[in-house]
Amino acid sequence: MTLSHSPAEDRGGPAQPLLLLKDLKKHFPIKGGLFGKTVATVRAVDGVSFAVQKGETLGIVGESGCGKSTTARLLMQLISLDAGEMVFDGEGVGEKTAGGLALKDYRRQVQMVFQDSYASLNPRLPIEDSLAFAPKVHGVSDAEARTRARELLAAVGLAPGIYARRYPHELSGGQRQRVNIARALALQPRLVLLDEPVSALDKSVEAQVLNLLVELKERFGLTYVFISHDLNVVQYLSDRVLVMYLGQVVEQGPVDAIYDRPAHPYTRALLASRPSMDPAKRRTEAPLTGDPPNPINPPSGCRFRTRCPFAELVCETQAPAAAQLGGGHEAACHMARPGSGHSQAARVAA
Amino acid sequence: MNAIMDKPILGGTAAAKQPLVIIRDLNVAFVTRDRTVHAVNGVDLDVGAGEVLCILGESGSGKSVTMRALMRLLPRFARVSGRIEVAGQDVMAMDERGLQRFRGGDVAMIFQEPMLALDPVFTVGRQIAEAVQRHEGASRSAGMARALELLELVQIPSAKRRLDAYPHELSGGLRQRAMIAVALACKPKLLLADEPTTALDATVQIQVLLLLRQLQEQMGMGVIFVTHDLGVAGEIADKVAVMYAGRVVEEGPVGALMAGPLHPYPRGLLGATVHGNMRGQKLTTIPGAPPSLETLPTACAFAPRCAEAEPACQTTLPEARRPVPGRMARCLKVAAG
């Protein structure tokens, strides 16, 4: 693929994380009453910190209401941060930071693919025009943007001669998601944020799109943040995995550590909730009871304690800090921290 | 023990003799002025009493249409033909009165979206009691007493308080349980479940699956469970029917089918399903997309996507072949039994 508009170059070197998030917070007020007073607050994202290394795929898993989509929107700066800091390849993001990376430049390097392939495309534009739109905004000439749009269609496996002039409604769900992926690549970003990109697709099409994502990552040297509720897909695609619960990170680490040696009881329950794929080994007991609590007024201390079979007094009174388990594996659980005051702390650590 | 549980509808042993559901040569076409869509094309299915049949298929395969045909819930412009029998009754011949008794009484249905299936302006308790009053002529207070029993049966915590809750006051998992309670209100012989766990979170999905399995065993109900998820079928099914382009392409016991599908389509689906340690491997995919059903496929509908297709596959409609008792596949490459 020959593209004149060169991608932004690497600044900080391979050891510098591509994206560093520190203590992100986003609270949504709920207004009510006669004068629209704030009656409650949804703590959608409450102190989330993580790093995305260059060239890796970071998987984010969690159930509805855990804040994974809010994190994605914060990451794209589609909504503003209440508190926290974002550093992209060594530069602070946002106009407020002195000498930082302007939002327009940041967004050129970070692009997103959404779950709903239809809602995220303009129904009145042929897909070629949708793909050419963003490059034109960023100063590429019309002819060049079109040429690039056709190259991108070919790259995602849609013959430009057949598909370039079609409208979104003339495509199947899988084809539309390919167009969305192509559009995300149109600005030659370094980081692509994939928010449940295959959840709405049928299984046979899902596999096609997953193969495409792996291929494109290699071809264009991309870094992915992959958000999904499907643990199997996350395991397949990710190098590192982040588990979220009620607006906080409960565990993160290399994919094998998370799947083979999960340290947080929530991660263990989540993994044990997967259907077994073997009718001879059916689940006999649900690992957890009840639904995730409402992120308005989350439980004190550890937010998982209301559903945790190991909860003790310390879990109620103190929020657990992240315990380092080696190799970048960390879990926010009192049981993983020797001396935390939990009766099982020593056993797990040993 | 719950009072409802004391009188099982059918013993487990009597199950196999007379199938609860018999579907023969079911065809459904949606006819509008612009076009005709052949959604279901000659489906034969049997479900025994106390048996769980999973219909597995992708969107547009005809799985939900088959279920709706069974309840006679299809719109007027649907052209339906074939034979449908449930518990010895001819469903196709029922009049409006008969259908009212049949729906909710003999057969009940649960859906993917409980918020759309439950009435938002009535409390959960009223909705259950209404079904009981209507079908069994019970009094209002007897209906409410039964509603409480049912909420306890579906393991809703503090059931007594939840009787007076409106659907929007419940969480997703509880709402799904409440919908199951409404469906079970009149002890149906057959429960139709249309992707009831698809919209739920992983930790809640497994709870609802286990609950359904437990209730099905206790009540000896037959269940037809529609899903696109092989893993879900593995957790709940006795028997699986795989649909493609409006036809059942393979049918068999869940264990055998998941261990070694006969038809290339389910084999492809199994290969395309990500599980365990497949990192770094390229996923096997099924190329292309399902056919448009505007023209009725006269040959094997899967042939254009099939890696093993031969010239004969493009011209012949494969008949049902039964190489092993209890298993069926519509593929020319499967040995006729």
The answer on pLDDT for A93 being more than 80 is yes
What is the DSSP track for B24-74? EEEEEEEE-SS-EEEEEEEEEEEE-TT-EEEEE--TTSSHHHHHHHHTT-S
Please, which residues have CB within 8 angstroms of residue A174's CB and are 6 or more apart in sequence? Answer: A201, A202, A205, A208, A209, B289
Task: State yes or no: pLDDT of A75 exceeds 80.
Answer: yes
- Confidence (pLDDT) at A279: 87
In this predicted complex, what is the ipTM? 0.83
CB atoms near residue B175 (< 10 Å): 23
Domains of chain B, by residue range, sit at 3-106+188-329, 120-187
Yes or no, beta carbons of B254 and A279 under 8 Å apart = yes
Q: Do B275 and A232 touch (CB under 8 A)?
A: yes
Say whether pLDDT at A3 is over 80: no
Contact between B210 and A285 using a beta-carbon 8 Å cutoff: yes
Cβ–Cβ below 8 Å for B173 and A291 = yes
Q: Classify burial at A257, counting beta carbons within 10 Å of its beta carbon; exposed 0-12, middle 13-18, buried 19 or more.
A: buried
CA distances (Å), A199 to each of A155, A206, A234, A247, in order?
A: 22, 8, 12, 21
| Torsion sign across C-alpha atoms A328, A334, A340, A345 | negative
pLDDT tens track, chain B, 337 positions: 455 544 444 444 444 467 999 999 999 999 999 889 999 999 999 999 999 999 999 888 999 999 999 999 999 999 999 999 999 999 999 999 999 999 988 999 998 888 888 999 999 999 999 999 988 889 999 999 999 999 999 999 889 999 999 999 988 889 999 999 999 998 999 999 999 988 888 888 999 999 999 999 999 999 999 999 889 999 999 999 999 999 999 999 999 999 999 999 999 998 888 876 778 788 888 888 888 888 888 899 999 999 999 999 999 999 999 999 999 999 999 987 6
Q: What are the pLDDT digits (tens) for A14-46?
A: 889 999 999 999 999 888 777 788 888 889 999
Residue A253 has pLDDT above 70, yes or no: yes
Beta-bridge mates of residue A61: A243
Residue A7 one-letter amino acid: P
The pLDDT-based confidence of A97 (bands split at 50, 70, 90) is low
Residue ranges of domains in chain A, CATH in brackets: 19-243 (3.40.50.300), 279-349 (no CATH)
pLDDT of residue A2: 42
Comparing CA positions, the residue from A252, A130, A120, A107 lying closest to residue A191 is: A107
**Alpha carbon of A156: minimum distance to chain B alpha carbons (Å):** 14
Burial class (CB in 10 A: 0-12, 13-18, 19+), B164: exposed
The amino acid sitting at B63 is K
Find the CB nearest A202 among B206, B210, B228.
B228
Contact list in A for residue B204 (CB cut-off 8 A) is: 63, 291
CATH class of B3-106+188-329: alpha beta
Q: How many residues can be counted in chain B?
A: 337
Put simply, the answer to whether A290 touches B172 (Cβ < 8 Å) is: no
pLDDT at residue number B11 = 41
- CB of B203 within 8 Å of a chain A CB? The answer is yes
Which has the closest alpha carbon to B150: B181, B125, B111, B173?
Answer: B181
The tens digit of pLDDT for each residue in A173-202 reads 889 999 999 999 999 999 999 999 998 888
Partner-chain contact B232 A64, CB within 8 Å: no
Q: What is the dihedral of CA A93, A99, A105, A109, to 10 degrees?
A: -50
Would you state the structure tokens that stand for residue A187, as one six-digit string?
């600005």
Residues of chain A found within 8 Å of residue B205, distances taken between Cβ atoms: 273
Minimal-distance CA residue of chain A relative to B209: A286
CA–centroid distance for A250 within its chain: 15
Global pTM? 0.87
Q: How far is CA B324 from CA A248, B257, B328, in A?
A: 53, 12, 8
Give the per-residue pLDDT at A6. Answer: 55
B158 to chain A, any CB pair closer than 8 A? The answer is no
Nearest-angstrom CA–CA distance, A112 and A193: 4
